[in-house]
């Protein structure tokens, strides 16, 4: 039995279609409630957060009980369609399993591109650069 716990949050981002965003959020596969918050000033500005990792969205053919039916690539593709030009949605996820290991990622979604950053690997690479030792290794998991 896994004890993995995560938290997910986005930056504040603008959308071109608030109703489509609400539909996407309603189909997100997550082990907790996904909360969509509209900015108090309106203007189609939102943030998303959950006390778990967001694993994707269900397609119309899949029910929320079908874990294999969720798709993270489909989630990012659908989000791309409602982001205006020159806007980025950044999905931050932090997680741990009984402090045996740590995950920290950011998925950056723009209208034209999706990229993912792994903070742990990024920190290791930065340490190698600072130390001037490309072979430097360490361990973070137990």
**pLDDT tens-digit readout, 30-56:** 999 999 999 877 788 999 999 999 999
Return the pLDDT at 100: 83
Instruction: Evaluate if residue 63 carries a pLDDT over 70.
Output: no
Q: DSSP states of the chain as a string?
A: ---EEEEEEE--EE-S-HHHHHHHHHTEEESS-EEEEE-TT-TTEEEEEESS-EEEEE-TTS-TT-GGGEEHHHHHHHHHTTSPTT-EEEEEEEEEETTS-EEEEEEEEESS-EEEEEHHHHHHHHHHHHHT-TT-------
pLDDT of residue 58: 86
Mean pLDDT of 118-137: 95
Q: In this predicted structure, what is the pLDDT of residue 40? A: 79
What is the average pLDDT across 67-95? 91
Task: Show me where the domains of the chain are located.
Answer: 4-131
**pLDDT digit string (tens) for 4-16?**
899 999 999 999 9
111: pLDDT strictly greater than 60: yes
The predicted pLDDT at position 4 comes to 86
Given this model, what pLDDT does residue 43 score? 80
Average pLDDT of the segment spanning 55-73: 71
pLDDT score of 102: 87
pLDDT recorded at residue 41: 74
């Amino acid at each position: 039995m896994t004890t993995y716990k995560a938290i997910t949050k986005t930056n504040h981002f603008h959308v071109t279609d608030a109703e489509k965003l609400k539909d996407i959020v309603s189909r997100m596969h997550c082990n907790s409630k996904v909360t969509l918050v509209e900015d108090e000033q309106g203007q189609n500005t939102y943030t998303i957060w959950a006390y778990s990792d967001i694993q994707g969205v269900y397609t119309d053919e899949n029910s929320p009980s079908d874990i294999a039916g969720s798709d993270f690539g489909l989630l990012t593709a659908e989000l791309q369609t409602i982001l205006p030009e020159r806007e980025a949605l950044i999905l931050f996820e932090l997680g741990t399993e009984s402090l045996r290991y740590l995950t920290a990622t950011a998925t950056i979604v723009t209208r034209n591109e999706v990229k993912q950053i792994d903070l742990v690997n990024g920190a290791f690479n930065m340490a190698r650069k600072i130390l001037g030792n490309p072979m430097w290794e360490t361990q973070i998991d137990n």
